Chain A
Amino acid sequence: MQSTEPSIEAILQLCLEASRVMVYCGAETSRVEEIIYRLATASHVEQVESFVTPTGIFIMVKKFGKTLTQLARVTSDASIDLNKVTKVNDISRKYCRGEYSADEAIEQIRCIVKERPPYPGWLRQICAGVSGGAFALLFHGSWKDILPGFLSALLANMLAEIPDYRIPRFLNVFVGALGGSLLGLAFLRLGFGEHTETIIIGAIIPLLPGLSITNAIRDLMAGDLLAGVARCGEAVLTTLSIAVAVGIGLSMFGVPT
């Protein structure tokens, strides 16, 4: 239980840290704005206004007649981490219940940013492969399609997750889709696997911008038009880069008619 009222600087800092982690890890806009509102009202501010987009956050709080505004630029790369979103959400709940002081909450959020992800890297790659193989079979494939689907999805995800800040994200996805589809088509040519369609779908499944699309719709429907359109643009570009990459791969191997 906290005894002293948090200063306006601490409140603003807390709102910024929390919202930055959430936007960075792929939370939708309305949730982030709600978190900011709750953190601020739990700290008894007179007024709080926030404007959150996928690439930047603006927050204004007013307390004791003093107004402070800050903004944070969010560099967006494919760092989706729903675990961190959930944890920051929990911290904000606890703060609103009065279990943390503002400084403790900021400290907790900084710890979350640094902590190791719940699943090791190799497990994620294996899971990308497994989802590829399973979807290759689910989308009306046959038994022979599992292994090519698995390996191509594995390769696609590995290529797409090459961490380099100089490579734009769409190029990452493009390279991943190209590598995955080429490997799948090579398997087909060598006689492993039966259906071109299911293997290709399996290969690109891990690259699909599922979260972008879901968030885009949620944002648009919640009235966060700017954020929604921005996310739509991201999703469309990602999808198109996948489609073009697969098209190039197919034209190298001869397009099935």
Chain B
Amino acid sequence: MHIFFMMILSFVATVSFAVLFFVPPKALMPVGLVGVIGWLILVLSLNHNISNVAGSFMAALVIAFLSELLARQFKMPVIVFTVAGIVPLVPGSSAFSTMIDFVNGRYMNGLAKGAETLLIAGAIATGLVISGAFMRFGWRRQHVPTKTPPNNSK
């Protein structure tokens, strides 16, 4: 029950973030679902003692995969779906602890936390890129039906 409630929350959060970016109204529901799925993967991997970095990576992988599918389905650019979808993965708490450590003068701890934050961000980025690259093998070239070219071109 508790996890179900959190899923609804992450849906609401993702959709409202999508509104901030003016995601087209047709795409709001899918974007919300993408956010929920990504967040679920992250939370489940954390519950199974998988590190934050690996969990974020897997979540981003799935988010990018779904976004590419949805982009083809809705004939919209991919970023429409990814941008709000990855927001629940933001390494908020580690970034916050980084800042607290630096403000308190615990520079070594701050650097360690900062490295963790950067690793999580890098993992999200890597997940997005790998998925995007795989999805674009093969069927990236769509055929634009060209009109009959006139004689004086080419």
Q: Bound pair: A and B? A: yes
Residues of A within 8 A of B (CB): 2, 5, 26-28, 31, 38, 41-42, 44-46, 63-64, 80-86, 89-90, 93, 96-98, 117-119, 123-124, 126-128, 130-131, 134-135, 137-140, 157, 197, 200-201, 205-206, 208, 210-211, 213-215, 217-218, 221, 243, 246-247, 250-251, 255-257
Q: Which residues of A contact B17 (CB under 8 A)?
A: 127, 131, 205-206, 210
Q: A205 and B87: CB pair below 8 A?
A: yes
* Given the contacts A210-B83, A214-B128, A130 and B153 also touching, CB distance less than 8 Å: no
4 new A-B contacts, CB < 8 A, other than A96-B144, A205-B90, A208-B90, are A82-B24, A118-B24, A126-B16, A213-B125
Q: B150 and A31: CB pair below 8 A?
A: no
Q: Which residues of A contact B13 (CB under 8 A)?
A: 130-131, 134-135, 138
CB distance from A79 to the nearest CB of B (A): 9
Q: A138 and B10: CB pair below 8 A?
A: yes
Indicate whether B20 reaches chain A with its CB closer than 8 angstroms.
yes
CB distance from A242 to the nearest CB of B (A): 9
20 A-B pairs in the complex with CB atoms less than 8 angstroms apart: A27-B77, A44-B154, A46-B154, A82-B21, A82-B79, A85-B80, A86-B76, A119-B19, A131-B13, A131-B87, A197-B93, A201-B93, A205-B92, A210-B87, A213-B121, A218-B129, A243-B95, A250-B100, A250-B103, A257-B100
Q: What secondary structure prevails in chain A residues at the interface with B?
A: helix
- Closest B residue to A31 by beta carbon equals B77
Q: A214 and B79: CB pair below 8 A?
A: yes
Interface pairs A-B: 5 shortest CB-CB:
A134-B13, A127-B16, A201-B92, A131-B16, A127-B19
Q: B96 and A38: CB pair below 8 A?
A: no
B65-85 toward A: CB 8 Å interface, digit per residue (1/0)?
000000000011101101110
Q: What secondary structure prevails in chain B residues at the interface with A?
A: helix
Q: B100 and A256: CB pair below 8 A?
A: yes
* Given the contacts A82-B23, A83-B22, A118-B24, A46 and B153 also touching, CB distance less than 8 Å: yes
Q: A42 and B86: CB pair below 8 A?
A: no
Q: Which residues of B contact A82 (CB under 8 A)?
A: 21-24, 77, 79-80, 83
Indicate whether B149 reaches chain A with its CB closer than 8 angstroms.
yes
Q: B79 and A221: CB pair below 8 A?
A: no
Q: Which of A86, A98, A206 contacts B77 (CB 8 A)?
A: A86
Give complex CA distance A38, B140 in Å: 14
Give complex CA distance A213, B126 in Å: 12
